[in-house]
Amino acid sequence: DIVMTQTPLSSPVTLGQPASISCRSSQSLVHSDGNTYLSWLQQRPGQPPRFLIYKISNRFSGVPDRFSGSGAGTDFTLKISRVEGEDVGVYYCMQATQLPFTFGPGTKVEIK
């Protein structure tokens, strides 16, 4: 199974300041079809997860442009350019390249 790791596991940030989360996979996430199925999801307190970014860097419908994704192969990053109060929650990376699909442990973003 592909193991997903995230750093940091907790990220206290100041409102208006940037935040960055790293995700690393134990194997390359490049699929045989050439795509890299690495996604980012946000889970606000008491809510179901919300899909943010797919295939490394594509923002999903309705996702603010302060969220961006980058990376390749086994190393990926989610960046929030200016953290707002509604961004508080846990962020997960997920790989859907190889079965079984797996998630990172989550990174908790909270306001300082």
Partner 1 sequence: EVQLVESGGGLVLPGESLRLSCSASGFTFTSSWMSWVRQAPGKGLEWVASIKQDGSEKNYVDSVKGRFTISRDNAKNSVYLQMNSLRAEDTAVYYCAKDQRCSYWGQGTRVTVSS
Residue 76, beta-bridge partner list: 23, 71
Q: Give 60-100 as a DSSP string.
A: PTT--TTEEEEEETTEEEEEESS--GGG-EEEEEEE-SSSS
Among 21, 23, 94, 109, binds partner 1 (CB under 8 A): 94
Q: Which of 36, 54, 69, 87 binds partner 1 (CB under 8 A)?
A: 54
Closer by beta carbon to partner 1, 86 or else 112: 86
Site string for partner 1, 7-46 (x = CB under 8 A): ------------------------------x-x-x-x---
